Amino acid sequence: MDNINDILKNIKKVHMIGIGGSSMNGIATIIMNYGISVTGSDRGPSKATEKLEALGAKVFFGHAEENLPDDCDLVVYTLAISQDNPEFLKAKKLNIHTMERGTFLGYVAAQHQYSLAISGTHGKTTTTSMTAAILMAASKDPCVHLGGYFPMIEGSVRASTSPYFVTEACEYHKNLLNLSPYAGIILNIEAEHLDFYKGGLPEIMETFSEFAGKISPDGFLLVCKDNDCAVEASKAAKCKVITYSIENPEADFYCKNVDILPEGISHFTICKGDASLVDIELPVPGHHNISNALAASVAAMELGCTPLDVAHGLSVFHNTDRRFQVKGKMNGALLVDDYAHHPTEIKAVIHTANEMLEGTGKIWSIFQPHTYSRAKAFGDEFCEALRGSTKVIIADIYAAREPDPGDINSSMLADRFNSKGVPTIYISNFEEIKDYIRKNATEGDIVVTLGAGDINKVVAELAEESK
């Protein structure tokens, strides 16, 4: 990668195709804070584009040649655009330099002395948010780039020119390899995005190993000792490797006195060797979130925060949207939404719900499979992940980027789940799903929507009508 100053020092105007995307609008906000003028285009207006316009960006809706200024220095685009995009073609015609979003994010991250890239199949957004909360509590003024809405920063980005930069490092399309950070975290590694990783887990492992090798020798790599694949990938690192675990005292950092209260508050003590460093009260439930919080805590301490900074930052932490997000109540039942769309994530959510119920009440899991490829690859694993539910309501598959192959659907999955002893019904219509919940959920139950599509509308609308 060229020196960041060589890339940015002569850039005055950047045009971004797909500027309203979750990552793109964050990058736009950050570089405007550097003093760079930004224009961009997207299919239509959104809250993200409204914020960018309020900050001074010029945003066009629809894609057309005239949207691209002739004096633009750089065009940043997402992989979602077509190669015949008129703005992209004009940039090529005018010999304006073009750069894919992930590559440009790597240059932006390198602008900051202490960049931290948080990777893993699950937990990236939550761990990045927790790290940001601690760094803010320690007055480190971090620049933050997230893939989800984080209430504490009122968005998905926090712009800053401080030395500290915290970002998610997504493995899809090997985007994490665009980063050469000062420090990194590998939370976990599992089979995922098999529509892209045709070589399966071995190819995914190679990608994470390459990421580990790109971390600065002067920095550190934090890795979860509870995940064998993550530990294996960390062997490629050229920097200091630090391990953590929520239960294994052989890790460099670990937890003890773990307790999750029915109201969803987690208590634990962070330890190093024989020393207890700090007691934590985390207003988020689940053992997976304790693991995420431990990773964030260790990373923050390695970046100069104190144990007291960690305790304060986590005590006021509010989770990102769609991560075990309580939306309200209906008929006395708690309404929860979660972005979980991989079997491991779903299993963690169901486990957390059962911990909160403590053996009382029912769990109504409303599951919307995300992409046909995941439904085919993980059908049996989804069934096992949902087994702790009292009843599973399965909605139609959210296709996202994929065409319907014709050989998998939610009715088939429901039949498979029932055959394996997981009570399941298939309901395609969201209104009918809501009506089913109205008739069946009662005081003390938990209703949870699961999926990365639009299934969150169900509990959001139930919560709204119950106000």
Q: How far apart are CA 179 and CA 184, in angstroms?
A: 10
The candidate with the shortest Cα–Cα distance to 211, out of 241, 234, 242, is 234
Q: What is the pLDDT of residue 243?
A: 98
Do the Cβ atoms of 358 and 390 come closer than 8 Å?
Answer: no
Per-residue confidence at 6, pLDDT binned at 50, 70, 90? low
Greater model confidence, 323 or 441: 441
Q: Say whether pLDDT at 2 is over 50.
A: no
- 374-388 average pLDDT score: 93
Greater model confidence, 21 or 297: 297
Per-residue confidence at 7, pLDDT binned at 50, 70, 90? low
Q: Say whether pLDDT at 3 is over 50.
A: no
Rounded to a whole number of angstroms, the distance between the first and last alpha carbons of the chain is 53
Do the Cβ atoms of 321 and 386 come closer than 8 Å?
Answer: no
Tens-digit pLDDT profile for residues 214-225: 999 999 999 999
Tens-digit pLDDT profile for residues 195-252: 888 999 999 999 999 999 999 999 999 999 999 999 999 999 999 999 999 989 999 9
For the chain, the average pLDDT equals 92
- 447-451 average pLDDT score: 96
Per-residue confidence at 181, pLDDT binned at 50, 70, 90? very high
Q: What is the pLDDT of residue 358?
A: 64
Q: Which amino acid is at 120?
A: G
Task: Of 169-173, 183-187, 384-388, give the lowest mean pLDDT range.
Answer: 169-173
Do the Cβ atoms of 177 and 210 come closer than 8 Å?
Answer: yes
Q: How far apart are CA 453 and CA 308, in angstroms?
A: 38
Residues 6 or more apart whose CB falls under 8 angstroms from that of 68 comprise 15, 39, 75, 87, 90, 91, 96
- 418-441 average pLDDT score: 96
Tens-digit pLDDT profile for residues 334-350: 999 998 888 988 998 99
Q: What is the pLDDT of residue 359?
A: 63
Cα–Cα distances (Å) from 169 to 122, 204, 208, 238, 267, in that order, read: 11, 14, 10, 18, 28
